[in-house]
Amino acid sequence: MNDTRPDPDRLLAEVADEQRQTARGKLRIFFGACPGVGKTYAMLQALQQLQSEGRHVLLGVAETHGRAETARLLAGLPRLPLRELEYRGRVLRELDIDTVLAAGPDLVAVDELAHSNVEGSRHRKRWQDVEELLGAGIDVYTTLNVQHLESLNDIVGRITGVRVRETVPDHVFDQADDVLVVDLPADELLKRLADGKVYLPKVAECARGRFFRKGNLIALRELALRRAADRVDVQMRDYRRTRAIDAVWPNRERLLVGIAGNADDEGLVREAARLARKLEADWIAAHVDVPQQQAGVERQRTAQTLALAASLGAETVTLPATTDVASALVACARARNVNRIVLGLRPRQPWRFWHRSTADRIGGAHPGLGLVVMAASVDHERVARRPLSLSGIDWLPYGWATLACLVATVLASPLLRVFDLANVVMVFLLTVAIVALRWGRGPGAWAAFVAVACFDFSQYVFTFGLMLAVALIIGQLTARLRREARLAGARERRAVALAGLAHALSAALTAEQIEEVALRNLKACFQAGVGLALPDAEDRVRTARSNAISMDESIAQWVYDHAQAAGAGSDTLAAARARYLPLKAPMRVRGVLALEFAQEGALLEPDEQRLLEACCNQLALALERVHFVEVAQNTLVAIEGERMRNTLLSAMSHDLRTPLTTILGAAQAVAPQVRGQSVEALVVSIDEQAQAMLRLIENLLDLARLQSRGVELTRQWHSLEELLGIALRALREPLRTHPVTVDIPEGFPLLEMDATLIERVLVNLLDNAAKHTPGGTPIEVRVRHEGGNALIAVSDSGPGLPTVAVDKLFDPFERGRRESVVAGAGLGLALAHRIVRAHGGTIEARQRHPHGAVFVVTLPASAPPDVEAA
C-alpha cells in the first residue's frame, strides 16, 4: 500500500470522536506519581485563574487534607454543597451530581478521580460521576495518582508493596482531553514529607516506611512520566495519521486473551492490556464456557476477570464450548481476524502426562497464529482459596455404600458354599458398580474398599485394585453423564423458555399484552420478581400496573435515558434491590425491565446472562413492532379522516352549486323574453344576487378547504398579467360600472405561485373594491418589482377603510362596516390573507389620499427559469 491517503475508517472514527467531544465537556486530569506532589494545589490554582477570566467555575470536591497553603486557594471559589449520606453510623459526604447538573457551570473541579462512592450514591465510582458530568457538557478538572490507573495498579503494588483498591479504567485516562503531569523530584517530596506537609491516608500510614522510600518514589515517578509520555506519543501518532504523514497504514493488531478461570487470570489480563496498548491493538477477552470446569468460585472469578478486562478496554465474549477450549478459541480468532492469541502459562502436570495444554494444542494445530504465552504473576491476596473443609461433603451416600456392601456380604456368604470364590467376587463387583452408578466416584471408591474389607481376603490385592478401578471409571462416567444431562436440561429449559417467550410475544398486539407476557414468562424463567416500565409520549417511563415488584421510577428513568443497566449487580445505583435493564431495540430504547432475585449475584453465570439478553432483545423488538403498528394505524386513521373531509367538501361544493346553476341559468334564459317588461328588473336582480351568492360559496368552500388540510400549494411559473386578465374577465359584471386601469410593466417576470389560489386573491381584492365603492369610481391595479418582491396594489377611490379595526379586516367574518348592506361576510379578505401568507408574502390595507383604499399584496419573486428565445 503506497497510498498516502489517511485510512478512511480511522478518519471517520476520529470525526465521530470529535463530534462526540464537541457536545461533551472537556476533562483535564492533574496527574502525579504519588500523594503529596501538589496536584490539588495545581488544580485549585488553575481554577482561580479561570474564575478571574470570568468563567463560571464550581468547586465540587477538594481534599485539602488540612494543608494551609492549599486551603488558602479555596478562598473565593463557589463551593457546592455535598450530599450527606449515612453509612455505618458515620456521615460521609459525596459529590451531588444532580446539584452540579442543576447549577450548570462551565467547569467543575472534582478531586480524587479514583474515589469510590459510599453505597447509596448513584454510581459506585467517582469517575462514573465525572463521565456523566462530561456527558452533560460540563468541563471537569480532576486529580489522579499513577497507582490508581487500572492497568498499572498491580505493577505499582509490586514496586511499593502497597496495593490500592480504588482504580480508574485506562480509557478514562486515555480519553481525557488534557493530562497535566504534576511532578516533584523524589528528594523534594521526601523533604516535604519530613516537614509534615504531606498527608497520608490512614491505610498508607502504616506502610509509610515501605511506601516513601527513595527507590520507590523514583520508580513511581518514572512510571507516571512514561505513562503520560505514552499518551503524548499516541496523540502524536494520531496527528500524523490525520495529516497522512504515515505513508503506510499498518494493519491493526488484534489480540485475543483466553480466560480459563484460573488464579492468574487477573495478572494475565493486565499484561495483555499493557501489550495491547503498546501494539496499539484492539483486544478481546474470551472465556470458553466449559461446564465441567466450573465450580462456583471459578465462575465468580471468571465474571470478575471479564469485568476487569472490559474496564481495561477489552471487548469481552463468552464462547460456548463446542468441542474443546483450543478449537473454540481458534474459531473465535479466525472469525474476528485476530492475529495473536494470549494465554497464561500452565505448568505441565506430570501425573497427566497425556494431557496437552491449550497453548500446545493451538501451537501444534495452527502454526500460523501468533501465540503469546505469559507467565502472569498470581496476586495471592486476591485469590479466594477454595475452602478445604470436610463439612461440604455429603456423608449419606457413604453410609448407603457401606450398607450395600454389608448386604452383599450377607448374600454372598451362602453362595460361597455353592460357587467358586472367583464367581462370588462378581457379586461384590456388581455392588461396587451399582454404588458408583448411583452415588458417584467417592462412595464408589469407598464401596470398593469396604467390599474388600468384608471379603476379608487381604491377599486379594489384585481384586481390590480391579474393583477400585471399576468404581472410579463408572463413577467418572456417571458423573459426566449426569452433568451433561443436567446441562442439556438447562439448555433445553432455556431454549423452551425463549421459544415460549417468542411465541407469546408474536401474538401480542398491544404494549399491555407484551407487559403481561413478559411478567408471566420471565418470572418462571429466572425465578425472580419481574417489573416493566414503558415510556409515555413525553419519554417519561411509567411502571406497569401488573408489576410483581415495586420499581423505582427514577432509576428506571435513568436507565431509559442512558440506555445502560443499573441497580443490583451493576456499577450504577447498586444499592437498589432490583436489577434494571434497558430494552434496546434497533431504533431506540423501548422500555426498562427490572428483575429482583431472591439471592444476590444470581445472574453472573454467562448462560443466564445470555438468556436474559436474548429475552430483553425479544421484548424490545416486540415493543418496537407494536409501536410501529400503532404509528401505522394512526397514519391510516389520519388519512381516512382526511379523505372523508375531502369527500364531504366536494359533495357540499357540488350540492351547493347545482341549484345555483339552475337559478342562474333560468334567470338568464328568461331575461331576453322579459326585456322591456316590468319584471325585467326582478330577473336581473335574481341573476346578480345568485352570482354574488356563488362567489360567497366559492370563498366559503375555499376557506374550509384551506383550513381543513392546511394550504397545499401547487406552485408553477405563472404570469401575473394573465391571472389579472382572468380575474377581470370573471368579474366583468360587477366591474361593469367601474373603469379599471391595469399598470403592469412589459416583460414582468413570471412568479412561482399557485395560480388557482392567487387568482382567488385577485378576484377577491377586485370584487371587494367593486362592492365597497360607488359606481363610476375608478379602480387601479399597479404591479411593480421591488427588492426581490412583486408588489400588487389594488386601489379604489371609494370611502376608504373603516377607521377602527383595520388589523381585523383579514379575520374571517369581519366586515368593514357592520351596518353595510353589501353582501359578503368578509370571507374574501380572510381567504386572500391566508393564501398570500402561504406563499410567504404579506397583504396590508392602507388609506389612500385624498380618499379611497389601497390593498397591497407582496409576493416573493425569485429568478424565473430560462426560456429559450426563438
Partner 1 sequence: MSTARILLVEDDANIRRFVRMALQDEGFEVFEAETSKGALIEASTRQPDLAIVDLGLPDADGKLLIAQVRSWSALPIVVLSAREREEEKVAALDAGADDYLVKPFGVPELLARVRAQLRRRQADSTTGSSVVSFGDIHVDLASHEVRRRGEIVHLTPIEFRLLAAMIRGRGRVLTHRQLLHEVWGPAYVDRAHYLRVHMANLRHKLEADPAQPEHLLTELQVGYRLAGM
Please, what is the minimum distance in Å from the beta carbon of residue 858 to partner 1? 19
Contact flag: residue 756 with partner 1 (CB under 8 A): yes
Contact flag: residue 716 with partner 1 (CB under 8 A): yes
Interacting span for partner 1 (CB under 8 A) from 346-354, 410-418, 721-729, 798-806: 721-729
**What is the DSSP code (8-state) at residue 313?**
T
Contact flag: residue 8 with partner 1 (CB under 8 A): no
In terms of CB distance, is 46 or 723 closer to partner 1?
723
Please, what is the minimum distance in Å from the beta carbon of residue 763 to partner 1? 11
Tell me which of 5, 243, 654, 818 binds partner 1, using CB under 8 A: 654
Tell me which of 545, 729, 736, 849 binds partner 1, using CB under 8 A: 729
Please, what is the minimum distance in Å from the beta carbon of residue 861 to partner 1? 14
Contact flag: residue 101 with partner 1 (CB under 8 A): no
Please, what is the minimum distance in Å from the beta carbon of residue 653 to partner 1? 6
Strand pairing partners for 370? Answer: 340
Contact flag: residue 742 with partner 1 (CB under 8 A): yes
Interacting span for partner 1 (CB under 8 A) from 371-379, 596-604, 715-723, 808-816: 715-723
Distances (CA, A) of 609 to 293, 499, 500, 576, 665: 18, 17, 18, 19, 83
Q: Which three cell numbers stand for residue 347?
A: 505448568
DSSP H or E segment with residue 140: strand 139-145
Tell me which of 58, 144, 433, 781 binds partner 1, using CB under 8 A: 781
Interacting span for partner 1 (CB under 8 A) from 39-47, 202-210, 628-636, 747-755: 747-755
Sheet holding 139-145, edge to edge: 57-61, 107-110, 139-145, 27-32, 178-181
In terms of CB distance, is 373 or 783 closer to partner 1?
783
Please, what is the minimum distance in Å from the beta carbon of residue 699 to partner 1? 13
In this structure, the number of other CB atoms found within 10 A of the CB of residue 713 comes to 15
> Measured between alpha carbons, how far is 375 from 73 in angstroms, rounded to an integer?
48
In terms of CB distance, is 621 or 711 closer to partner 1?
711
Tell me which of 74, 281, 750, 838 binds partner 1, using CB under 8 A: 750
Residue 34, phi then psi, degrees to nearest 5 = -160, 170
Report angle CA 687, 691, 693 to the nearest 5 degrees.
120
Sheet holding 842-847, edge to edge: 740-743, 779-786, 789-796, 853-860, 842-847
Contacts with partner 1 in 656-675 (CB under 8 A)?
657-662, 664-666, 668-669, 671-673
CB-count burial class (<10 Å; 0-12, 13-18, 19+) for 570: middle
Tell me which of 363, 725, 812, 860 binds partner 1, using CB under 8 A: 725
Any long-range contacts for 798-802 (C-beta under 8 Å, 24+ apart)? Answer: 798/769, 798/772, 798/773, 798/774, 798/851, 798/852, 798/853, 799/772, 799/773, 799/851, 799/852, 800/847, 800/848, 800/851, 800/852, 800/853, 801/845, 801/846, 801/847, 801/853
Size of the site for partner 1 (CB under 8 A): 48
In terms of CB distance, is 225 or 740 closer to partner 1?
740
Contacts with partner 1 in 568-587 (CB under 8 A)?
none
Contact flag: residue 865 with partner 1 (CB under 8 A): yes
Please, what is the minimum distance in Å from the beta carbon of residue 657 to partner 1? 6
Contact flag: residue 755 with partner 1 (CB under 8 A): yes
CB 24 within 8 A of CB 137: yes
Convert residues 692-711 into a mask of x (bound to partner 1 by CB under 8 A) and - (unbound): --x---x-------------
> Measured between alpha carbons, how far is 795 from 781 in angstroms, rounded to an integer?
7
Please, what is the minimum distance in Å from the beta carbon of residue 753 to partner 1? 12
List helix spans (H) across 368-460.
Answer: 396-418, 421-439, 441-455
End-to-end CA distance of the chain: give it in Å, rounded.
58
Any long-range contacts for 540-543 (C-beta under 8 Å, 24+ apart)? Answer: 541/591, 541/592
Interacting span for partner 1 (CB under 8 A) from 169-177, 406-414, 525-533, 650-658: 650-658
Tell me which of 48, 51, 719, 789 binds partner 1, using CB under 8 A: 719
In terms of CB distance, is 29 or 857 closer to partner 1?
857
Tell me which of 162, 728, 806, 838 binds partner 1, using CB under 8 A: 728
3-state SS assignment for residue 685? helix
Interacting span for partner 1 (CB under 8 A) from 404-412, 592-600, 622-630, 746-754: 746-754
Quickly list DSSP for 465-530: HHHHHHHHHHHHHHHHHHHHHHHHHHHHHHHHHHHHHHHHHHH--SHHHHHHHHHHHHHHHHTEEE
Please, what is the minimum distance in Å from the beta carbon of residue 663 to partner 1? 8
Please, what is the minimum distance in Å from the beta carbon of residue 797 to partner 1? 19
Prior bond of 185 cis (ω within 30°) = no
Tell me which of 292, 413, 506, 650 binds partner 1, using CB under 8 A: 650
* Sole residue written with cell 452408578: 437
CB 554 within 8 A of CB 105: no
Contact flag: residue 868 with partner 1 (CB under 8 A): yes
> Measured between alpha carbons, how far is 689 from 693 in angstroms, rounded to an integer?
6
Interacting span for partner 1 (CB under 8 A) from 126-134, 243-251, 554-562, 712-720: 712-720
Contact flag: residue 689 with partner 1 (CB under 8 A): no
Positions that interact with partner 1 (CB under 8 A):
650, 653-654, 657-662, 664-666, 668-669, 671-673, 690, 694, 698, 716-719, 721-726, 728-729, 740, 742, 744, 746-747, 750, 755-756, 759, 781, 864-865, 867-870
